[in-house]
Amino acid sequence: MSELDAYRSLYIAESRENHETIVKNLLILENGPDESAIAEIFRSAHSLKGMSASMGFEGMERLCHAMEDVFQEIRSGKLDVSPDLMDVLLSGSDSIESMLDDIEDGRQGISDDLEETVKQLKNLTSGNTAGQSASVASAGTENLQDIYSQHLKDEPDNNTQYGGIRYRITVQLQPDCHSKNIRGMIVLQNLEELGHIESVSPSRGVIEDGEFDGSFVVEITSDAGEEALQVTSSISDVSSVLIETVAQPVVPQPSGIQKQPPVQERDGGTEKAERTDKSDKGREIKNIRVDITRLDQMMNLVEDLVINRGRITQIARKYQIKELDETLNMVGRSVSDLQNLMMNIRMIPLNHIFNRFPRTVRDVTHKEGKEVEFVIEGGETELDRSVMDGLNDPLLHLIRNGIDHGIESPEIRLEHGKTAKGLLKLSARRDRDNVIITIEDDGAGISPEKVLAKALKNGLISPEEAEGLSQEEIFDMLFLPGFSTADKITDISGRGVGLDVVKNAIDSLKGTIKVESVKNKGTKFELLLPPTMAIVNVMMVRINGKRCAIPVNNVVEVASLTQERIHHIGTHETVLLREELLHLDRLDDMFGKSEKSEILVVLSHQNKKRSIAVDLIEGQQEVVIKPLSTIVGMCRGVSGVTIPGDGEVVPVLDVNSIIKET
């Protein structure tokens, strides 16, 4: 593996963070002047440019350099923020994301529209800044000192010394930094863009080879100011940056650039003691980056431990070995603690996907000519990574749908006595063992009459069936394949790929979705999701001698099943339990007909109930659920399989699909 490949994953991770920071602050800047947002954008673009240059990704370096020049013009007040300017900058951020995807796939990251984007950015700048940007960008990966020397030759008076204040910058890397050479060269690259480096100690060659103790001193002449020089502290693995003023603005000298004597190695005395103190007081490492595949492997091992813990428990009960019981209790506690710890490690704040949507809202509203205030709440709520992975597309669809079909144009809103700007709110909260995500708007709402008329027109229901439908049941038709109430087809939604895609995605995550709407008031979609799909509590039951598992969250109660409680309505069996009539299902098609079902298990899903008849309840157990699709494909009524301690493969009932058949 080449050195470039070795550091590629680290570069990608840090670059995506910088890209996200740029996009987030661009959207803040679009709403009005914000100095902190400009500073954040400038720092992130500068860091991304420096890392790209060190890794040899010339295209990314050129693009970031062009964007940085624009931000510098904005910061200096020479360029005003306008909608056209934001379109160009956001287009540049899209190119960055595309190039990062390309680099992650092992290529050099040259976007198809790179040249056009860089050209547009350069056209926004003026004067000396634009000229310098062009010279540096066209130089690619040439030595920046050579570029600077050529710049001096082009000046009318090439005897003028580089102006600015002279600083001494002491950089300390983290003690366990595994890429000191890369980090050191990124720091130098960033500083070279802000001034003239007079000396480096130890030498540049030593830093490039990584043969130093993690600390180095740079003397630089710059007019950028200490705040700009602090950009070096935003680079990963930099523990501390100490900036000292050595001399005030340099008076131009007739002899050209004066090179100062190299800073000597600090082998003893007070100076070395000061640097040692700074090293000793470096920040303790609080976070580390771990490849997600390693977490998946650890989770698989924890799942194996849970399964084998159940097996050992059964053996201990069978042979009644006291010593084994005592040891098993200690091992069981350790496995439980490890399991809880592993689950917490895999939990990720929803902000990881929520933060992507402001850009989507901005683009769609501009295209639709609408005004929308987008509010995000509860982004700190955590979900398991396995659930999070499948959540982005459904939420994206619902957000786009809310803007396109929900929120009206400013003119129509004003006619209905509303504010011109609509409200779209994305929120998340934890409710006992589940996470609830809502997407709601204050738009036109959904007309039940219109939905029902479309269902009748498409032959989805008969006129007789339509008479007894509740509003909730009518809204459920929105999730049928291809169903749409859109009056026109747009490129935002309404192209035959409707809410059924969202429903299927949420079902695959073992979640549920429901919709509430009031005409001319707004619509709310509510997603209920389990925090994790890996390890759950189930009730083990037997039907016709065959074992199956039911998620405990879906079990309302257990009661005795007597013949007096059973009633027949048409061809269906029902049970009257506490003045409530419940559909009774014996699951004969799944497990065969049983002659001794004497126990009633009441199931609940999304406020709907149904009961099933079982022969025996073996008790509750914590199990690992494996997806069924990886083994035999999809099977109606079964969400997955589990393997308890005795090694038997047991199906897990999909209560959602069972209740839907009611």
What DSSP assignment string belongs to 592-636?
A: ---S---EEEEEEETTEEEEEEESEEEEEEEEE-EEGGGTT--BT
**How far apart (Å, rounded) are the C-alpha atoms in residues 137 and 236?**
25
Please report, for the domain that includes residue 178, its CATH number.
Answer: 3.30.70.1110
User: Do 184 and 150 sit in the same domain of this protein?
Assistant: no
User: Do 186 and 332 sit in the same domain of this protein?
Assistant: no
> 524 pLDDT band (50/70/90 cuts)?
very high
Please report, for the domain that includes residue 9, its CATH number.
Answer: 1.20.120.160
> Tens of pLDDT along 411-424?
999 998 999 999 99
Residue 234 has what pLDDT?
67
Check pLDDT > 70 for residue 275.
Answer: no
Q: Which helix (H) or strand (E) holds 440?
A: strand 434-441
For 392-404, give one letter per residue: b (16+ CB within 10 A) or e.
eebbebbbbbbbb
> Tens of pLDDT along 551-575?
888 898 898 888 878 888 877 888 8
Q: How far is CA 286 from CA 44, 381, 536, 631, in A?
A: 22, 21, 31, 40
| CA trace torsion 300, 305, 310, 316 (10° rounding) | 160
What count of Cα atoms within 13 Å lies in the side-chain half-sphere of residue 278?
18
Global confidence as pTM: 0.62
Please report, for the domain that includes residue 623, its CATH number.
Answer: 2.40.50.180
Range name among 150-159, 214-223, 394-403, 455-464 with the lowest pLDDT average: 150-159
**How far apart (Å, rounded) are the C-alpha atoms in residues 16 and 352?**
12
User: Do 212 and 74 sit in the same domain of this protein?
Assistant: no
Residue 434 lies in a domain: yes
Range of the domain at 219: 161-250
What is the Cα 404 distance to its own chain's centre?
A: 24
Please report, for the domain that includes residue 498, its CATH number.
Answer: 3.30.565.10
Choose the final residue of a domain: 93, 125, 159. 159
Q: Which of 25, 401, 554, 656 is catalytic?
A: 401
Check pLDDT > 90 for residue 123.
Answer: no
User: Do 630 and 497 sit in the same domain of this protein?
Assistant: no
> Tens of pLDDT along 593-608?
887 888 999 988 767 7
**How far apart (Å, rounded) are the C-alpha atoms in residues 164 and 161?**
9
> Tens of pLDDT along 243-257?
988 876 644 444 333
Please report, for the domain that includes residue 329, its CATH number.
Answer: 1.10.287
Residue 280 lies in a domain: no
User: Do 563 and 643 sit in the same domain of this protein?
Assistant: yes
Is position 401 annotated as part of the catalytic site?
A: yes
314 CB neighbour count, 10 Å cutoff: 13
Check pLDDT > 60 for residue 274.
Answer: no
Residue 266 has what pLDDT?
39
Is position 368 annotated as part of the catalytic site?
A: no
Check pLDDT > 50 for residue 497.
Answer: no
Residue 468 lies in a domain: yes
Residue 609 has what pLDDT?
85
Residue 635 lies in a domain: yes
Alpha-carbon Rg for the chain, nearest whole angstrom, is 32
User: Do 390 and 506 sit in the same domain of this protein?
Assistant: yes
User: Do 218 and 367 sit in the same domain of this protein?
Assistant: no
Residue 267 lies in a domain: no
Residue 179 vs residue 442, higher pLDDT: 442
User: Do 344 and 484 sit in the same domain of this protein?
Assistant: no
Q: Which of 18, 19, 25, 46 is catalytic?
A: 46
434-441 and 422-431 beta bridge pairing: antiparallel
Residue 385 lies in a domain: yes
> 181 pLDDT band (50/70/90 cuts)?
confident
Give, as one character, the DSSP assignment of residue 533: S
Task: Pull the structure tokens for residue 502.
Answer: 């969202």
User: Do 365 and 487 sit in the same domain of this protein?
Assistant: yes
> 585 pLDDT band (50/70/90 cuts)?
confident
Residue 124 has what pLDDT?
80
**How far apart (Å, rounded) are the C-alpha atoms in residues 512 and 436?**
10
Helix, strand and coil content of the chain, in percent to the nearest 5, comes to 45, 25, 30
Mean pLDDT for the chain overall: 77
In three-state secondary structure terms, 169 is strand
User: Do 495 and 551 sit in the same domain of this protein?
Assistant: no
Choose the final residue of a domain: 106, 125, 159. 159
Evaluated on CA atoms 461, 463, 465, 466, the torsion sign reads positive
Check pLDDT > 70 for residue 634.
Answer: no
Share of the chain above pLDDT 90, in %: 13
Residue 483 has what pLDDT?
73
Q: Which of 14, 30, 68, 198 is catalytic?
A: 68
User: Do 363 and 497 sit in the same domain of this protein?
Assistant: yes
Residue 255 lies in a domain: no
Choose the final residue of a domain: 116, 134, 159. 159
Is position 46 annotated as part of the catalytic site?
A: yes
User: Do 362 and 432 sit in the same domain of this protein?
Assistant: yes
Q: Report the domain count for the chain.
A: 5
Check pLDDT > 50 for residue 139.
Answer: no
Residue 212 lies in a domain: yes
What's the count of helices (H) and strands (E) in the chain, helices before strands?
Answer: 24, 23
